[in-house]
Structure formats: C-alpha cells, structure tokens
Amino acid sequence: MKHPLRIPYIAFLIFFLGSVTPNQGQQVLKKTSTERPLLLGPDEQFGNLFETVQIKAVFPDSKTFADCIPNYPPATILANYEKARQRSDFNLKAFILQQFTLPVKPASGYTSHAGQSASEHMADLWPVLTRPATPRLKEGLQPGSLIPLPNPYVVPGGRFGEMYYWDSYFTMLGLRASGKPALIRNMVDNFAYLIRTVGFIPNGNRTYFLGRSQPPFFSFMVNLLSEIQGRRVLLTYLPELQQEYDFWMDGKDQVTAQQPAYRRVVQLAEGIYLNRYFDDKSTPRPESYREDVQLARHIKNPQPLYRHLRAAAESGWDFSSRWFRDGKNLRTIHTTDFIPVDLNALLVNLEQTLADGYRLKGDLNRSKTYQQLAQQRRTALQRYCWNPKSGFFFDYDFVARKPSTVYSLAGIYPLFVKIATPAQAVAVARKLEQSFLKPGGLTTTLQNTGQQWDSPNGWAPLQWIAIQGLRNYRQLPLASKIKINWVAENLRVYKVSGKMVEKYDVISTAAAKGGEYPNQDGFGWTNGVLLRLLSEK
C-alpha cells in the first residue's frame, strides 16, 4: 500500500526559501546552520540505504540514484526499507523503483532533423535543454536532490539534468549568438540567487554539490551581460560578486606560516595569498559513490583521497594528470596541494571586476583595494606559476614547494585574462602550436592516462579560452588554426552522428572516451562555443 505524500522538513525549507526575500533567506540560513544542514544530500538523507544501492550497482550510473526523486518522506522510506529487507523475497531494485521516481535524462538521444545545418540543430536544442523556473515546491512534491531555481536555465544534456556553474558561461556565449539575452539574464539571476541563499555558487543545483563550487566564472557572466545591457549592470550584481569573492577567500585570517592552507586559501612563505580547489566534505561523491569507494579500497584512511577527488571535481577537470603525483594514476591524486594557475587567473578577473564595480558605485577606496589585490595576485602568478625555461605557465605544488611539470591547457588562462607579458604570450603560443595543436583542435594535456581531461580529448571551453587568449596578444594565425580545426571536428561529428557531444578526440578524431561515464550528447558548452565561433565574421 502506498503511503500518502508528505513534505519532509528539507522540502519545507526549500519551499520556504523559495518564498522569502534574499535578506530573509540569509536570516533563515543563519538560524538553521547551527542546528542541522539546511539542504541534505541523498547520501545524508538515506544513509545505509543509499550506500547499499550504490555499492550493489542497482543502476549502472551512480548519478541515477543520486538524482532520484523520493515518493515519500525519507523517514518513511527508511522505515519501509528496514521492514522490507527482512523478507526472504526482498528485491532491492524493485523496492527502489517503488519508493523513488527515476530522473529524466534531458536531450538524451536527440538528433537533428534531415537536412538541418549544425546551427539550425543547435537552435532547436535550446528549448530541449532549457528547464523551467522552480522557485518553490508544489504541494506534495518531494524535492529529491535538485535545488529549485527562480528562473529558467539551460542544462548541458545527457546525464546532466541540472545547471552547472562553469558550463553555463560557455553556454551563454551561444545564447548571445542565438539572440537570447533574456535567458542569459535569467541564468545570471539564478547564480546570484544561489549566492544569496546558500552563500556561494555550487558545482550545480544539486544538494550533493553543496560542499564545492567550480571555476569562478560569475564575473565573466556579469561582464558578458554588461556587454548587452551596459556597464552599470555591475552595480546590480556587486553584492553577489563580493560574496563570491568572500567565499573563495574565506579563512584568509586563519592561515599561518605553520598552517598555510585553510579551505580554499593558501598563504605562501612571503605572506602572499593565493587559492586552491577544495571541497568541504571528505566522503565519497554521491554521484560517483561506487567509483570513489572502489578507488579507495585497501586505503586505511580514505578521507584525504575523497577530498582530493572532490577538489578535482570543483576544478572541473575530473580527472586529469594535472592532479596526479605520478602523472599517471588516479590513486595518486593530490589536488588540494596545488595552487592552480587557472583558478587564480579567474580570481584576478573577479578582483578587477570588483574594482570596476566599486568605481562605478563611487567607492574609490574599495576600488583601489581590489586593484591592488589583483596586482598582487598577478605578481604572485608570475613568480610561482611561470617557468621561463619551459616558456609556459604551470600549477604550483605549495606542499612540495615546486611547480608542476605537467603541461596542460590551464597554462593559457593568464593570456585569457590578460596578465601574461607579450613575451610570455609568444612562448605559450609556440608551445601550443608545437605540442597541443592537433587535427581536431587543442588536446587538453600531453599525457594519455585514460582520464577524460587528458590527451587525446579536447573540450569546448578550453578551445575558446585559448582562442581568445591568443587574440588578446595578437597571435591571430594560431588562434585561427585552432578555430578552424575545432569547428571542422565539431561539424564532422555532427555530419556523421547528427549530434553535438561533450568532448572530442582531437588527435585521431575517433569517438572521445575516458572518465567515469560515456561521452554525452546535447551539449550545452559545445553548442555555445561553436555557435559563437560560427557567428564571427
């Protein structure tokens, strides 16, 4: 017999937050934060049941159960489970399918209509990938892990049925090319809403992402919107830009020479502050639970490994030889030991944007403060991440006190945010052309480890960052080569399959592979970058 639907405590909180003003929401957060987690992930809600379902691989993809929607309050489901599992004929999968509703995979299997061009196909995909506003829960609806948002938004596609942080900036490039400024504004407003209500922008709008963020592109989103609506848009989002910065710098006053790192802040010996990727939790990722547990088997204390895995997920590069101690094996991952060149370049842009915003506001003292902070970070990046002998930018291992030796496309970010010198830009361009440029675009690293953020895979966001970075320094022939190769590969795959996909094998131009899941179709940021490139004169 089915139990009547009831909204559990967590659903009530989400419902309540959706109906209050931002200031009231902050008060709710403060009042509840010391009592219990405001939004619980499914692993926290369902405990042993969640672990059992994931370890026994009830679903081939660990993300499936993390995204399931409970049909009843968690307490009811757990009570039902304790009773049902005592029976000799208990079937775990049948029980789950009765107690939960499976997630719908957006855009999975969507292909073009006969005769459609790639641009027409991608234009048709925007409605397929767009999700409606869900500012509050309807009565009787169980929340699952999805965090409701007040405005429509675009998801990547395939297994990814939520709005992702850094993906969205590159998606917005295509929305602008498609003449959809209102949807860009809606998504920026959603990110501002998340900053106000949960204190930062999580990896995606899922409760199981609340331990981490992603590469901080919010300032780029606001700047993109300002290109459409005018520079004074910065004033609208200045409070959220400040809160985003405060999130990344939280703990700056707690680090010392003896304990140089706290959360995402690292103090170097000279009193210079830079940032790292981190995650506030050290448990298996709910969306990759089985994979994380299997990787940690035979490790006496797996918590550090879980934290490094989660931190790599915050970087967006999950996973890559960038983070491996031996450059080859995932078990040697040590993400939180690195000062990543891409993260800190992005934070320079955030500091510069804050300086611009406070100048527009008339607060010249704070504007000067952020100008100085941006300059300090530029100087530190030059000191710690530039290798003059190699002619390239690298991540810096602050624990080992030496730069990484892994060449990766993270090294192009200083060109993207215009903090490299002209001579450095020439050297980086030379290395890109000699080693990274392939028939299908730029390969992510020069290492082939079987991980998806390594060779031979290429990713749309990194192609855009490289192209724009090179253009910033008048390295136009190489920028053009990368664009031509990448666009040709996207169109080739589209012609063969009728799809735009998440990543591409840029060396052999075979189907891209590697990582924890198959190549996904849709695909938000691929569409965004390709549409932007195709729209150029």
Rounded CA gap, 2 and 441, in Å?
Answer: 54
For the cut 50, the answer to whether the pLDDT of residue 86 exceeds it is: yes
For the cut 70, the answer to whether the pLDDT of residue 186 exceeds it is: yes
Is 390 inside a domain boundary? no
DSSP structure class, residue 339: E
Of 314, 337, 454, 502, the catalytic one is 502
Is 307 inside a domain boundary? no
Is 328 inside a domain boundary? no
Cβ–Cβ < 8 Å for 471, 425: no
Give residue 104's pLDDT. Answer: 78
Is 209 inside a domain boundary? yes
Percent of the chain with pLDDT strictly greater than 70 = 88
Cβ–Cβ < 8 Å for 422, 429: no
Q: Hey, CA dihedral for 94, 98, 103, 105, is it positive or negative?
A: positive
The CA distances from residue 117 to 124, 239, 375, 443, 474, in Å, are 11, 42, 45, 26, 31
Catalytic status, residue 454: no
Is 472 inside a domain boundary? yes
Structure tokens at 475: 């390295």
- Band of the pLDDT at 112, cuts 50, 70, 90? low
Q: What is the mean pLDDT of the chain?
A: 90
CATH number, domain of 38, equals: 1.50.10.10
Is 73 inside a domain boundary? yes
Give residue 139's pLDDT. Answer: 45
440 Cβ neighbours under 8 A, 6+ residues apart:
458, 485, 486, 488, 489, 504, 505, 506, 507, 509
pLDDT tens readout for residues 208-227 = 999 999 999 999 999 999 99
199 Cβ neighbours under 8 A, 6+ residues apart:
29, 243, 247
Domain end marker among 230, 258, 273: 230
The CA distances from residue 178 to 45, 121, 125, 377, 426, in Å, are 41, 12, 11, 36, 34
245 Cβ neighbours under 8 A, 6+ residues apart:
347, 350, 351, 354
Give residue 37's pLDDT. Answer: 36
Catalytic status, residue 227: no
Rounded CA gap, 183 and 164, in Å?
Answer: 15
Domain end marker among 181, 197, 230: 230
Strand, coil or helix: 237: helix
pLDDT tens readout for residues 1-49 = 333 333 333 343 443 343 333 333 333 333 333 333 368 999 999 999 9
Cβ–Cβ < 8 Å for 64, 42: no
Give residue 522's pLDDT. Answer: 76
Cβ–Cβ < 8 Å for 477, 436: no
- Band of the pLDDT at 514, cuts 50, 70, 90? low
Cβ–Cβ < 8 Å for 139, 6: no
173 Cβ neighbours under 8 A, 6+ residues apart:
224, 464, 528, 529, 531, 532
Strand, coil or helix: 11: helix
Mean pLDDT lowest for which of 60-64, 159-163, 192-196, 489-493? 159-163
Give residue 153's pLDDT. Answer: 97
Is 423 inside a domain boundary? yes
Is 421 inside a domain boundary? yes
pLDDT tens readout for residues 135-181 = 565 444 447 999 999 999 999 988 888 999 999 999 999 999 999 99
Of 318, 351, 454, 505, the catalytic one is 318
Domain count, the chain: 2
Structure tokens at 354: 């804050």
DSSP of 408-469, one letter per residue? BGGGGHHHHTT-S-HHHHHHHHHHIIIIIEETTEE-SBS---S-TTSTTEE-HHHHHHHHHH
Q: Which structural domain, as residue segments, surrounds residue 494?
A: 406-537
**Bond from prior residue into 319 cis (ω within 30 degrees of 0):** yes
Rounded CA gap, 261 and 256, in Å?
Answer: 8
Strand, coil or helix: 370: helix
pLDDT tens readout for residues 189-210 = 999 999 999 999 999 999 999 9
pTM of the model: 0.91
For 354, what's the count of Cα atoms within 13 Å in the CB-facing half-sphere? 24
